[in-house]
Amino acid sequence: MILFFKIAIQDIRTNRFLNAVTIITIALSILIVSALILFFVNANDYMNSWKKGIKIIAYLKPDIVEANLVDIKSKIQGVYGVAETDFISKEEAMKRLRKQIKRQSSLLDGLKDNPLPDAFEIRITEQSANSEKIENLAVQLESLPEIDDVEYGRKWIGRFVKVFELFKLTGYAMSGIFFIAAVFIVASTIRLVIYSRREEIEIMRLVGATDRFIKVPFYIEGIIQGALGGIIGLAALFATFIYISTNVEHGLSSDLLHVRFFSLRLSCTIMLCSMLVGWLGCFISLRQFLKE
């Protein structure tokens, strides 16, 4: 193995230009794919924070007395998918309504009685944040005898969840397509390297070298190229990220948009993928070349 490493390092040194071209190709591919992944990671975070904000309002029947509220609350919290419950009294609801309609709040002055019902504001768990589960949860809440009606943005949630799922799927598909494209671009570049060294490979074969002996240094070269390309690609992305996030976060409220870079684990995964791209590019090119 030491010998193969020695040969690989020597080959990288002697074929500097073509190796640099391959490394830059890998770096650009990694930069594009990881920029896409970074966008999806942040978009995913943003969507998750939206999901956490989904609420269900359960209106209580008018004849419920205050003494039963604790019992009703524990019944609601016993329903699967409920994360938190907050009691909103009819007085509190009126206050909120007045606040919401501000200028038109004088319209409410003519009311003799408060027509708003007491209610529970229910936050759901993250796992239950899809339209089917929310609907099931609403049905269960409605079946409680103390509850008059349940309200949630049925249509809005349905659409939102579908868009979110589509968004995720698009992310996976695009990353996959870019990964495959990167492999083929790298394979073509490596084919150029191999083609420039065809005479050397032919001589190696003539002196009795096995295909394995020829291939292994190329594979090591591919992995080294992949690692270097990955480091350059990720470093370029990090620099761009720092530049953009500093400017964007200055311009926008940090509550609205908080962006983050890859975790160490995800960075390592991208590096491994980059090495895999280098190796796979070599594998495809060599397989074709040695067959000829």
Partner 1 sequence: MIDKNNKSATILMFHVHKNYGSKKALIDINLDVSKNELLFITGPSGAGKSTLLKLLYLGEPVSEGQILIDGMNLSRISRKRIPLLRRKLGIIFQDYKLIPTKTVFDNVALVLEAMGKKRQFVQKKVNSMLRTVGMEKRFNAMPQSLSGGEQQRIAVARAVVGSPKIILADEPTGSLDSESACVIFDLLEGFHARGGTLLVATHDEKLIRKTGCKVIHLKEGRQISK
Dist CA 14 CA 94 (whole Å): 80
Dist CA 162 CA 132 (whole Å): 11
Dist CA 262 CA 37 (whole Å): 9
- Least distance CB 13 / partner 1 (angstroms): 9
Dist CA 55 CA 85 (whole Å): 10
Does 206 interact with partner 1 (rule: CB under 8 A)?
Answer: yes
Among 20, 107, 203, 252, binds partner 1 (CB under 8 A): 203
Closer to partner 1 by CB, 18 or 79: give it: 18
Does 5 interact with partner 1 (rule: CB under 8 A)?
Answer: no
Q: Which of residues 14-33 bind partner 1 (CB under 8 A)?
A: 14-15
Among 65, 67, 207, 256, binds partner 1 (CB under 8 A): 207
Does 209 interact with partner 1 (rule: CB under 8 A)?
Answer: yes
Does 192 interact with partner 1 (rule: CB under 8 A)?
Answer: no
Does 68 interact with partner 1 (rule: CB under 8 A)?
Answer: no
Dist CA 107 CA 3 (whole Å): 88
Q: What's the CA angle centered on 221, arms 175 and 12, to 5 degrees?
A: 125
Stretch of 101-109, 178-186, 200-208, 243-251 lying at the interface with partner 1 (CB under 8 A): 200-208
H helices of the chain, in order, are 2-14, 16-52, 69-77, 90-101, 131-142, 154-196, 198-206, 211-251, 264-291
Stretch of 73-81, 135-143, 209-217, 277-285 lying at the interface with partner 1 (CB under 8 A): 209-217
Dist CA 187 CA 180 (whole Å): 10
- Output phi, psi for 253, to 5 deg: -65, 135
Non-local CB neighbours of 275 within 8 Å, separated by 6+ positions? 223, 226, 227, 230
Closer to partner 1 by CB, 69 or 204: give it: 204
Does 292 interact with partner 1 (rule: CB under 8 A)?
Answer: no
Closer to partner 1 by CB, 24 or 290: give it: 290
Does 246 interact with partner 1 (rule: CB under 8 A)?
Answer: no
Does 181 interact with partner 1 (rule: CB under 8 A)?
Answer: no
Closer to partner 1 by CB, 11 or 118: give it: 11
Closer to partner 1 by CB, 6 or 96: give it: 6
Q: Amino acid identity of 83? A: A
Q: Which residues sit at the interface with partner 1, rule CB under 8 A?
A: 3, 10-11, 14-15, 199-200, 203-210, 213
